[in-house]
Structure 1
């Protein structure tokens, strides 16, 4: 089952917003400065493009996690490259991702949180779409292929009761013992 563009855009927007927000929060908690609006928007656009490219069908939890680790590392570098003081303090100039344990731990925590959220959401969404698809497939052909046959015409004749029998009760059964 493949997702059409409106569904892909909605999923991509949710994924990108959560991914970039968690990366920015993890970056601040890990000891970095809050990212400027321009790098944050650039990161949002990059993650949205990645999500749109990969959002055409259901992905496994492992694939989601690998992509998220790459996205978190890319967002970390993008956010860290915004300030030269941050680069010199945290050692990015010497070896790229030479970060301290706190920053790495917070980004990996953001990756795990985002991965769990996205994997569970993906499983629920695709399960719902499969169920709806099956239901629509079962209902649509039956309604379209089977024409409704006209029902039989039944004429009912109402016989009014005569006034003598209206208040009488008939009880059939064995006679009462004497």
Structure 2
């Protein structure tokens, strides 16, 4: 059985319906015949949900109806995420990803090729030739900063599990490197 993204009480309180209520409503609409983005748009447009709740309800519905495996998308690909708060400025944390020389110190085997970036906010990369993507977001927290990373388009659960552990280890190494720099 798949793990729900949030509790029944939380969805009920925030949206006025529990999981069964949303699943029944989506079934009546015929959501299994619609792509993910259309379900989200319908929940936002017809039911006034914010994007976060619409995404959450859609993913849980897709899981409940067997359209999506836990950690996977409807296209059969998988996504993993990792985050870390580091006691350095957002400028230093951002540079650790976008400066190739600095990145090699904590990600020596990493094969990131920058696609796009919004300085100090986000950077998107192709990984290892472009079959998967790594999207990174940065949050300035004053005297520290947070990085959130999503590695998407992974082919199966084994690859997803590998990269889940990989990114946890790499971000811990990054934190240690940046916090111990003179």
Decide: shared fold, TM above 0.5: no
Higher strand share: 2
Task: Pick the structure with greater CA Rg.
Answer: 1
Q: Which has the higher contact order (CA 8 A, sep 6+)?
A: 1
TM-score, normalised via structure 2 length: 0.29
Higher share in helix? 1
TM score, norm. by length of structure 1: 0.30
